[in-house]
Chains A and B, each alone.
Chain A
């Protein structure tokens, strides 16, 4: 049911990732329930983006298992995971520069939505859906422009729109708000809230504490590749280890 929290959607057990001698993630256990709004915070370099990359298949984790919606993900490549319903926006926006915004949104519709068994959108329906998604993030008037004509904020919105276009069950919003003004942050939060009400489970990876605290139903804190807190936002924040990580000794 939209807005309500249900059964387990994502189950991560003992996830580990190294880069040569450097341990980026160490024994991460994480459970995400359907419908949740999970906040993921941690200092720079704590492994947040690495975790997202491992979950989405962009990076390969050496240790641990990931089960999504009852299906084990180990061995599946990124595009296969996207087709199963995992979506993410990139921390640094990665638009397709050689095509206009409509085509940027068209890609996930063609290659994810239409690749799933069942209904197939016609070409006209796809274009209509592209415009709809662009309208949702306020980019409809720039639909025929190229990404280079967008501001930083607009590129972030495009990034989100493209992730949403894949009709995900679980969406990772990776630092979608960095460098935005207060009102812009509110706008993005509103978009994400709306998506959650439509039934999409959201993981918000952010540094902007006010946004994370107001948005999340649960908070996970990562420090130096370890999960040091996992619970209700107000409680997780008061965890002494978290205080130490953010404020120092």
Chain B
């Protein structure tokens, strides 16, 4: 299937999804829960571009995600700040603009981290991303403008565009992001870039010897991955209405964005989507019945089990089952 055809299909699916839910689903809870699952589709797809396609593990999803969230918080407070400091009046910044800005800043952060660490082995990049999470969290905790450790309250605008409730609007935006993420991932897969990333994953030295500019490709992957994660985080302040470091850097983002692609399957765009829908839905249901800590424990244990027993995830299991049927 050509990339163009795929984009058309996934856009159509996304559009249909939005329309159908608007027409038939009136339960607000669906939108709240659905937003989280869609958020995870974006996060795990983004993670997989660097993880599954390129072979570089990012443990600091929280850093990129929260950067997107906090850049929105800053933009949210910007009009008031400009008014009191310079007596300028600018309209409130629309959320789509915040999403783009969040993506740009997170993408730049990905580029910067990558530039510093991607010339070394993948292990050091992974460790650096772990530390990055802590550092960004420390910076935000010490930054009073966004509330520091006390957090910040964000009031949703009274009117949502598209004439629906605000949460439906957020849901729609996140669906658009999910469509974009999946489309980008699939385009990369079938492209020259995707083939190059695969060689980096398979054997970086041989890739260089074959003429692949490995550092440049790794930086591209890191920037796209980080940027998408930032975009996923940008609407968060309006979703939770109370943004604080503890919840936005919540470990669940870090572990889920690793577990979902691993469990779903890292070699294609299907795996992260599958993992996100499966694990995301289960967790949304389970959070009502069991504690969130126990919930996360189960995700962590599943991650370990899959990585040992079924390293190619569900997609891998299906493939080898089909191959065995052919024999």
**Contact present between A and B (CB < 8 A):** yes
Decide: B192 and A97 in contact? CB cutoff 8 A: no
Interface residues as binary, B183-206 with A (CB distance below 8 Å gives 1, 0 otherwise): 000000000100110110111011
Interface residues as binary, A95-113 with B (CB distance below 8 Å gives 1, 0 otherwise): 1111100010011101110
Give the CA-CA distance A202 to B198 in the complex, in Å. 29
Give the CA-CA distance A214 to B134 in the complex, in Å. 62
* Stretch of B13-21, B101-109, B141-149, B208-216 on the interface side: B208-216
Contacts of B210 in A (CB 8 A): 79, 82, 107-108, 111-112, 162, 165-166
Decide: B207 and A58 in contact? CB cutoff 8 A: no
Consensus secondary structure, chain B interface: helix
Decide: A96 and B206 in contact? CB cutoff 8 A: yes
Decide: B206 and A79 in contact? CB cutoff 8 A: no
> With A96-B203, A97-B202 given, is the CB distance from A106 to B195 under 8 Å?
yes
Decide: A111 and B212 in contact? CB cutoff 8 A: yes
Q: Is B267 an interface residue (CB 8 A)?
A: yes
Give the CA-CA distance A165 to B210 in the complex, in Å. 9
Decide: B205 and A112 in contact? CB cutoff 8 A: no
Query: Shortest CB–CB separation between residue A75 and chain B, in angstroms?
Result: 14
Most buried by A among B196, B199, B210, B213: B210
Give the CA-CA distance A230 to B212 in the complex, in Å. 34
Contacts of A99 in B (CB 8 A): 195, 198, 202
Q: Is A37 an interface residue (CB 8 A)?
A: no
- A87's partner among B199, B203, B209, B267 (CB-CB below 8 A) is B209
Decide: B195 and A103 in contact? CB cutoff 8 A: yes
Contacts of A165 in B (CB 8 A): 210
Residue of B nearest to A90 (CB): B206
Contacts of A106 in B (CB 8 A): 195
Interface residues as binary, A212-247 with B (CB distance below 8 Å gives 1, 0 otherwise): 000000000000000000000000000000000000
Q: Is A34 an interface residue (CB 8 A)?
A: no
Most buried by B among A90, A94, A163: A94
Could you show 17 A-B contacts with beta carbons less than 8 Å apart? A58-B205, A79-B207, A79-B209, A79-B212, A82-B211, A90-B206, A94-B205, A95-B202, A96-B199, A96-B207, A97-B202, A99-B202, A107-B212, A110-B195, A111-B213, A162-B210, A163-B209
